[in-house]
Amino acid sequence: AEDEPGQGSAEAQDRAREYMGLDSGMSLAGLPIDAAFIGSCTNSRISDLRRAARLLEGRKVAEGVKAICVPGSTTVKRQAEAEGLHEVFRKAGFEWREAGCSMCFFAGGESFGPRERVISSTNRNFESRQGPATRTHLASPETVAASAIAGMIADPRKVAV
């Protein structure tokens, strides 16, 4: 709409920080999360799932964090299962789901809760993308996996084996 501020305007930045519950200059590292989502057709390729699984191997998702993995396609899902990656995700505490849109965007009536903080490997973001008033932080699949383990936004290089 014509009356909306541009993405780079100070007003738009203030609005985004308010929506996300952040302060200017605040570090995201260590920010507690409620959920972690590895999925979307662009960021859950077999190579993405392999890298995330390496971080998850022998580890558990932090208590209170809902973790979901949705392979990017049926072909990727079949390949991941043939390699046993689904078991790594499940043992770590991730839900392993059918390929599809799932939580990439508030689809099929399922969503994360209002004001929940989610770290997600989806490729773009906007208000309420993953549910009404849900606060989504975009990250690589490795960062999502590391954050799920830590229970907060975490650097995968500090979790890596």
Give the model confidence (pLDDT) of 16-44 as tens digits: 888 788 888 889 999 999 999 998 777 77
Furthest-apart CA pair in the chain: how many Å?
52
What is the structure's pLDDT at 140?
94
Phi and psi at residue 51, to the nearest 5°: -65, -40
CATH code of residue 130: 3.30.499.10
- According to DSSP H, which parts of the chain are helical? 10-20, 46-56, 74-82, 85-92, 141-150
Return d(Cα 91, Cα 61) in angstroms, integer: 9
Residue 39 within any structural domain of the chain: yes
Residue 10 within any structural domain of the chain: no
The pLDDT tens digits of the residues spanning 52-110 come to: 999 999 999 999 999 999 998 999 999 999 999 999 999 999 999 887 655 655 566 66
Please, which pLDDT band fits residue 1 given cuts at 50, 70 and 90? very low
Return d(Cα 83, Cα 107) in angstroms, integer: 29
Q: Residue 83 sits in which domain range?
A: 27-158
Residue 67 within any structural domain of the chain: yes
Residue 17 within any structural domain of the chain: no
pTM: 0.86
Give me the number of domains the chain comprises.
1
Residue 21 within any structural domain of the chain: no
Residue 11 within any structural domain of the chain: no
Q: Which two tokens stand for residue 141?
A: 């699949």
Residue 109 within any structural domain of the chain: yes
Residue 59 within any structural domain of the chain: yes
